[in-house]
Amino acid sequence: MRYLSRAPALRVHSVRAGAAIVLFLGYADLVNGGVTGAPVLLVVGYLLLVPAVILTWR
């Protein structure tokens, strides 16, 4: 737990920004008809990065 609460601010912000960017790119690709990059980005965003954001939320 202490590990989580001590997460450096930069890392926390990076994870948040990363999640937002990955989800945005995923949807952007989907809107353009992408069927390969879009699902990969959305799965990574929803299943890895957003949970990481929640667990590192300060």
Provide the binding-site residues for other proteins, judged by CB under 8 A.
1, 3-5, 27, 30-31, 33, 35-36, 38-40, 42-43, 46-47, 50-51, 54-55, 57
**Least distance from other proteins to the Cβ atom of residue 17, Å:** 16
Nearer to other proteins, 10 or 36 (CB): 36
- CA atoms of 28 and 17, how far apart (whole Å): 16
Q: CA 26, 24, 13, 50 torsion: positive or negative?
A: negative
- CA atoms of 41 and 21, how far apart (whole Å): 10
Nearer to other proteins, 13 or 57 (CB): 57
